[in-house]
Amino acid sequence: MGSHSRAPESRGRGGVSPRRTNTQVAGDKRIPWWVYVLIVLGVAVIGTVVILSLQSCGHKEPPSYVSPYDWSQVVRGDDGRFTYTEDGVPASQTGIDVSNHESDIDWKAVAGDGIDFAFVRIGYRGYTEGGIFVDDRFEANYRGARGEELAVGVYFFSQATTVEEAQEEADFVIEQLRGRQLELPVVFDFESVGDGDARTHDVTREQCTANALAFCQRVSEAGYRPMVYMNLRDSSRYDLEQLQAAGIPIWYAQYDVEVAQAQFDFAIWQYSESASVAGAGEVDIDILFLTAPIPAYPVVASGETTNRG
């Protein structure tokens, strides 16, 4: 006890004090922990690169869309209207589309204001109860436009929810036309309606595509050229590849832009809903591209379109 007491020395097994051999000293020189972390991270990165490389061999990103038109040659004039040229040659026409929403139209004044063609609404389906009606200005507008030798097409405002209804709409249009001549297509114009009572809210992309194809087939069988109208929002309601594979031209609507933003080919661009046209007031106005991959005008045996531009 006191200053003479001291703690016993530590001893190994058998009471012998432990000693470090040269081998044990060398073994204590361990690899730092962070080296292991770097190794693990390196293996993970290499593995990820290998997996992505293998996946890319079987999966390629689709090519970005390239417009068939040189948009630097789509020029807006002082009158606010677009024209298009290719290699210095005019390659477009200007037109309007009208319905009973416009009052009496002076078609002679329209033709004198540089308008080449007109689409006239022939009828429509109600968006709540689904009844089909003729546009009460169709006869006057058709006769007036043709009387001034404008190229004429017609459109039907569709609210079809089934293939059978789309065929019914096409049959209605054919019945109203009664074999009359058209230079431009019969257009399937299906549009989204914001009203909560609209009957078409639940129409799927597959159904909308099937409806358009059924309408267009019926129209084609009657000897007329079909077409589908859409804006940027409603374009997502169609399988556009199916429409293009069927050779159906597209009429595209987008306002207040200098370059159309559609990532697909179209033959006509409706670029304003309030253009000033003599004899018609403020109306929808359109540019028709004569060099469209799937043209609005019918193609004759020579491969040329039957436009009168």
pLDDT band with cut points at 50, 70 and 90 for residue 248: very high
The pLDDT assigned to 11 comes to 35
Domains in the chain, start-ordered, CATH in brackets? 71-289 (3.20.20.80)
How far apart CA 35 and CA 168 sit, in angstroms, is 75
pLDDT digits (tens, 9 = 90+) for 128-141: 999 999 999 999 99
pLDDT band with cut points at 50, 70 and 90 for residue 52: low
The pLDDT assigned to 31 comes to 73
pLDDT band with cut points at 50, 70 and 90 for residue 162: very high
Give the 3-state secondary structure of residue 86: strand
> Global pTM?
0.79
pLDDT above 70 (res 299): no
The pLDDT assigned to 103 comes to 85
**Is the pLDDT higher at 201 or at 81?**
81
- pLDDT (average), residues 1-14: 39
Helix runs in 192-232, H state only: 205-221
Structure letter (DSSP) for residue 167: H
The pLDDT assigned to 57 comes to 58
* Percentage of residues of the chain with pLDDT beyond 70: 78
CA separation (Å) from 132 to 84, 161, 187, 211, 230?
Answer: 37, 13, 16, 16, 20
Query: 145 and 107 in contact (C-beta within 8 Å)?
Result: yes
pLDDT digits (tens, 9 = 90+) for 70-121: 999 999 999 999 999 999 999 999 999 999 999 899 999 999 999 999 999 9
pLDDT above 50 (res 66): yes
The angle, 0 to 180 degrees and rounded to 10, between the axes of the packed helices 163-177 and 205-221 is 30
Tokens of 234: 């409603």
Query: 206 and 236 in contact (C-beta within 8 Å)?
Result: no
pLDDT above 70 (res 16): no
pLDDT band with cut points at 50, 70 and 90 for residue 49: low
pLDDT above 50 (res 240): yes
Average pLDDT, the chain: 86
pLDDT above 60 (res 307): no
pLDDT above 50 (res 9): no
> Where would I find the beta strands (DSSP E) of the chain?
74-76, 82-86, 89-90, 92-98, 117-125, 132-134, 151-158, 186-190, 226-231, 250-253, 268-277, 281-289
**Which backbone phi and psi does 252 adopt, to 5 degrees?**
-110, 140
- C-alpha torsion angle, residues 276, 104, 296, 63 (rounded to 10): 50
pLDDT above 60 (res 144): yes
pLDDT band with cut points at 50, 70 and 90 for residue 3: very low
* Percentage of residues of the chain with pLDDT beyond 90: 72
The pLDDT assigned to 102 comes to 94
Give the 3-state secondary structure of residue 205: helix
**Which of 198-207, 211-220, 223-232 is least confident?**
198-207
